[in-house]
Amino acid sequence: MAKLDANTPQAIQLRDYTPPAFLIDKVDLTFELDETQTRVISRLVLHRNPAHPDARAALCLDGRELELESVKLDGEVLDGSRYALDAESLTIAAMPDNAILEIVTLIHPETNTSLNGLYRSGANFYSQCEAEGFRKITYYLDRPDVMARFTTTVVADKQKWPVLLSNGNKVGEGQLDKSRHWVKWVDPFKKPAYLFALVAGKLSKLADKYTTGSGREVALEIFVEPADLDKCDHAMESVKKSMRWDEQRYGLEYDLDTYMIVAVGDFNMGAMENKGLNIFNTKYVLARPDTATDVDFDGIEAVIAHEYFHNWTGNRVTCRDWFQLSLKEGLTVFRDQEFSADMGSASVQRIEAVRTLRTHQFAEDAGPMAHPVRPESYIEINNFYTVTIYEKGAEVVRMYQTLLGREGFRRGMDLYFKRHDGQAVTCDDFRAAMADANGYDFSQFARWYSQAGTPVLSVRARYDASAQTYTLEVAQSCPATPGQSEKLPFHIPLALGLVGPDGADLPLQLAGENEAQGTQRVLSVKEASQTFTFVNVPVEPVPSLLRNFSAPVKLDFPYSRAQLVHLLAHDSDAFCRWEASQTLMLEDLQDLIDAARQGQPLALKDDFVAAMRQVLANEALDPALVALMLTLPAETYLADQQAEIDPDAIRAGRDAMRLGLARALRSELKASYLRLQDDSAYRFEAEAVARRSLKNVCLGYLTELDEPALLELAEQQYAKANNMTDAQAALAGLVNWAEGDAVLDAFAKKWAHEALVMDKWFTLQALSRRLGNVQQIKALMQHPAFAITNPNKVRSLIGAFVHNNLAGFHAADGSGYSFIADTILTIDKLNPQVAARLAGSFNRWKKMEAGRRAAMQAQLERLAAQVGLSRDVYEIVSKNLQ
């Protein structure tokens, strides 16, 4: 364990929240950009906050890595005796109640590799301020409950930085001297500093227009490097669709004259919702059919929608403090999921969201970093941009809608905006708006925000043929998580139907009701255990439980295999059909894993193979759904189902199922593959995407078989593909065989200058059975297209390997662990946020089999003993060792 001393990072607690001592009404910023330093001149109009308990409190401004040039208070230059300066703040003790502060600082974006604050990427400047990056630009009250009106003037050499952008509306521009020009921006909306943005550089622009429902015209502008201008059309279409959708679904219009998006290749996250000037990772903007896959097109549409939707849920109404992060993120993810459901196939979208939640969030909830949707403490807020805050947070928002219905949810949203527009608020404020708008009691529901862990919902059923009743005994529990040993019952919406022997849903009438009320309903489970009795049930049904995944819980129901096959074939709920196939699959996978561990032969069960054969043969099913049913759960998800993780057994069991299915269904897979061929031009439309997804799942199985004729199918597909979806899928199948090497080389030659395409090339190798090993990863880190300072590169090669290649990373010799510890230490010096994400690869260590557990512990201890570890990495490592 790291020693506790003055340098040990301290946790910040929700219970310590106090309102700021001062509020800032107006901020005037001037940036003088240059190659070797940037001068920031800030003029703040402040007043004392009457809500603060101490009426004489000092003004303590946040600031990091700043060179202070001067401070003026109400026009008077302050000498060093009038303020106190340390590594993280500038404090002025004697402050009048109203004041004007003028602060000049020097900063160094050109050496800023953290990509947090103002930084350079290529020759251009970009900013990233969420969560606490603004304090690396100037001294400020860098907290979201301080909302101010910003004016920004940017001065720079006109040749080098012709485009100068900031938030709001451009109100002036001109030439300063022979070489330098300036642009002035005014943002009419008050905002927290985390939504500030600045961009400067040589950028090309794609321009378009949008007319809002009330007839206002909005200029839409996407700025990219000149070479990428031909890859912005899909992003622009996605902006317009998002704007229309938010008007139709929530009555929300855009509120500025211009909506700008800038794409940058060096970016820590997916994208950022800065007011009027969103900054995006290139990954979520750039797409052309030959460079981007269906998954990429889909991701761009979703992330564009997400950032656009933040304009209301995040910007107009923001968070009081960072503990409330899910207030904006959970809600905005829910909104982008609903948007995506409306743009494509709702059930496919839902199943994919559940897969993500289960694979990543359930794992987080079961590990050392488990935290509630509203955490109670953190060491480094950047570590809390998690699947729990985002994806579980979205499930929590979805449950309001499941309980209230879509109209009731809309009433709650309307009240939320009516009450809180222009404010910084809490998750409780959101919950109160939902409750008050509908007269609904959400008091117990609050536990979804405060209790971590994935609840288990156990259901047992009893059919009484003579009384014609069907009784469900429902019990809930939730495992202990760090700092929370006991859990109280949650308010769980349980959506269900009862499927009759003919496959049709039965009418549902609860005891005490006069008549049946539909064939699907949502039960409110609130007790630790509870009984629901349905009456007038003429035959024994198969229960279809947790329809559309109505709550983020683990369902435990003792389905027989015959019942699962029945649901798989008939359930009217697409999610439950998929779920039935997954449950069958998981059962058999577990048997295979156990057999592998005991050195026994690995064989598939006939009824499972028959069920999969039927799924594949069912041409009435959406091909995308068939593809999902045939897709195996990730190795990491399988690992999370084990009492003790043996990565080799998981790899062997999973591979045996893929190979077994490929052998057993060889002719059906090939027939489907051939039937789904499509030579027409690429279109990103649900039907075409669905066909490609099934076609490529079939190809994936076929290339498991070591048959030259089948590998040739993949080679042909690669050679004639008119889109990246097909090219990448073909390469993914080939890369496990020696035949893949030539194709990998050709791919790298062709795409050497497309950074995002090279990311795919790195990932394909990192995940490959044949190539995904430490030696190969190290070799690829020397490839000219790799850069340790670029987060996309780190994620696509190293991140993919340690997070998604279970057997590769967890090689029995421990080489993966020393490699990643070394890499974390290197990257921590450059970019702590990225390093901390890699440190998450240790989160499963306590569940590994003994040899690997010891090897991982040794590396964790080695990391913990390092002097000068960032807070980011320190938090992950120390929580792992607790």
- Residue 803 interface partner, choices Zn ion, ligand PHE, none, CB cut-off 5-8 Å depending on type: none
What number of other Cβ atoms are within 10 A of residue 602's Cβ?
16
Which C-beta is closer to ligand PHE: that of 636 or that of 833? 833
- Using CB under 6 A, pick the residue from 119, 250, 308, 385 that binds ligand PHE: 385
| DSSP SS3 for 271 | strand
**Residue 393 to residue 374: CA distance in whole angstroms:** 9
Minimum CB separation of residue 387 from Zn ion in Å reads 13
Site string for ligand PHE, 311-340 (x = CB under 6 A): ------------------x-----------
Quick check: 737 and 718 in contact, CB under 8 A? no
**Residue 584 to residue 703: CA distance in whole angstroms:** 24
Binding range to ligand PHE, per CB under 6 A, among 40-48, 265-273, 419-427, 775-783: 265-273
Phi, psi dihedrals of residue 868, rounded to the nearest 5° = 80, 20
Rg (CA), the chain: 28
**Residue 844 to residue 753: CA distance in whole angstroms:** 37
- Using CB under 6 A, pick the residue from 187, 273, 640, 655 that binds ligand PHE: 273
Which C-beta is closer to ligand PHE: that of 307 or that of 726? 307
Token duo for residue 523: 């039960």
- Using CB under 6 A, pick the residue from 28, 102, 130, 573 that binds ligand PHE: 130
- Residue 130 interface partner, choices ligand PHE, Zn ion, none, CB cut-off 5-8 Å depending on type: ligand PHE
Which C-beta is closer to ligand PHE: that of 144 or that of 344? 144
Minimum CB separation of residue 772 from ligand PHE in Å reads 29
Give how far Cα 146 sits from Cα of 12, 48, 427, 618, Å. 18, 12, 18, 58
Closest CA to 446 of 458, 454, 457, 435: 435
The residues near 64 (Cβ < 8 Å, ≥ 6 apart) are 87, 88, 135, 136
Which amino acid type is present at position 447? R
Site for ligand PHE contains 299 (CB under 6 A): no
- Residue 228 interface partner, choices Zn ion, ligand PHE, none, CB cut-off 5-8 Å depending on type: none
Binding range to Zn ion, per CB under 5 A, among 285-293, 322-330, 415-423, 507-515: 322-330
Minimum CB separation of residue 314 from Zn ion in Å reads 7
**Residue 167 to residue 360: CA distance in whole angstroms:** 34
- Using CB under 6 A, pick the residue from 104, 239, 271, 774 that binds ligand PHE: 271
> Given its phi and psi angles, is residue 374 left (phi above 0), alpha (psi -120 to 50 degrees) or beta?
beta
Give how far Cα 15 sits from Cα of 55, 232, 330, 376, 517, Å. 21, 45, 22, 7, 45
Note if 307 is an active site residue: yes
**Bridge partner residues of 222 (DSSP):** 206, 261
Minimum CB separation of residue 448 from Zn ion in Å reads 19
Minimum CB separation of residue 454 from ligand PHE in Å reads 23
Token duo for residue 498: 């009862």
Number of H helices, E strands in the chain: 29, 31
Residue number with the smallest Cβ distance to ligand PHE: 269
- Using CB under 6 A, pick the residue from 38, 114, 121, 128 that binds ligand PHE: 128
**Residue 568 to residue 580: CA distance in whole angstroms:** 5
Minimum CB separation of residue 118 from ligand PHE in Å reads 14
Which amino acid type is present at position 693? S
Minimum CB separation of residue 8 from ligand PHE in Å reads 25
Site for ligand PHE contains 505 (CB under 6 A): no
Site for ligand PHE contains 269 (CB under 6 A): yes
Site for Zn ion in 327-346 (CB under 5 A): 329, 332
Site for ligand PHE contains 307 (CB under 6 A): yes
Quick check: 495 and 402 in contact, CB under 8 A? yes
Token duo for residue 747: 């791919």
Number of residues that bind ligand PHE (CB under 6 A): 11
Which C-beta is closer to ligand PHE: that of 307 or that of 872? 307
Catalytic annotation, pick one of 102, 132, 301, 307: 307
Token duo for residue 467: 């009384």
Site for ligand PHE in 415-444 (CB under 6 A): none
**Residue 496 to residue 137: CA distance in whole angstroms:** 53
Minimum CB separation of residue 152 from ligand PHE in Å reads 19
Number of residues that bind Zn ion (CB under 5 A): 2
Judged by the rule CB under 6 A, the positions of this chain that interact with ligand PHE are: 128, 130, 268-269, 271-273, 306-307, 329, 385
Judged by the rule CB under 5 A, the positions of this chain that interact with Zn ion are: 329, 332
The residues annotated as belonging to the active site are: 307
